[in-house]
Amino acid sequence: MKIHNFKSFINEAIGFGLFNDSQGRPNKISTEILNIVLKGLPKKITDNINYVEPNGYSLMISPPTISNKGQSTGENDYQSIFINFNSPVGSQKLTGLTIGLRKRTSGPDTGYIGIKPSFENGKSLSGQSSFAAEFYTNPEEALEKLFNDNILKYTK
């Protein structure tokens, strides 16, 4: 039998034990995004998570679609969570990530996933502040690719 202390019991009741409990229980989408994060980001990042805040909506870039028919580019609202790290990661001092999810009506497992890095002292990336990709069945793979292509170089 596993014995829980009071703090771990409270955290497990919140969901994954990572959500910041000052904002109450996370909603279903926030929990889904965290599940994608835990499967799609490298262990170096997930092991360094201090807490997660459900963010509501964050403005992130719209990715180009494969067909690009009727798809506007620019920024859109994504349902998002903010991941705060225990300690800054890499020489660029990455302190956290905002991960956003936007579902589409064209299918049950389709949508867009976005990622926006946060750096110590408010530094930002030159050019783009967020990155996004379209997914059809596997948002974890899309997040992994986004991270590897755009953020990984800042974590070394």
Residue 63 or residue 24, greater confidence? 63
Residue 134 or residue 21, greater confidence? 134
Mean pLDDT over 9-30 rounds to 63
| pLDDT 10s digits, 112-138 | 999 999 998 777 666 678 899 888 889
What strands, in cross-sheet order, belong to the sheet with 74-89?
49-62, 74-89, 94-103, 111-119, 131-135
Domain chopping of the chain, boundaries: 26-155
How big is the CA angle at 82 (ends 80 and 85), to the nearest 5 degrees? 155
* Distance, CA of 156 to CA of 151 (rounded, Å): 10
Residue type, 21: D
Tell me: pLDDT of 2 over 80. no
Tell me: pLDDT of 147 over 70. yes
* Distance, CA of 153 to CA of 131 (rounded, Å): 14
Look at the alpha carbons of 54, 28, 64, 70 in this order and tell me if their dihedral is positive or negative: negative
SS3 65: coil
Mean pLDDT over 147-155 rounds to 92
Alpha helices in 15-125 (DSSP H): 28-40, 43-46
Q: State residue 75's pLDDT score.
A: 82
| pLDDT 10s digits, 42-98 | 999 999 999 998 878 888 888 765 555 555 567 888 999 999 999 999 888 999 999
Residue 17 or residue 16, greater confidence? 17
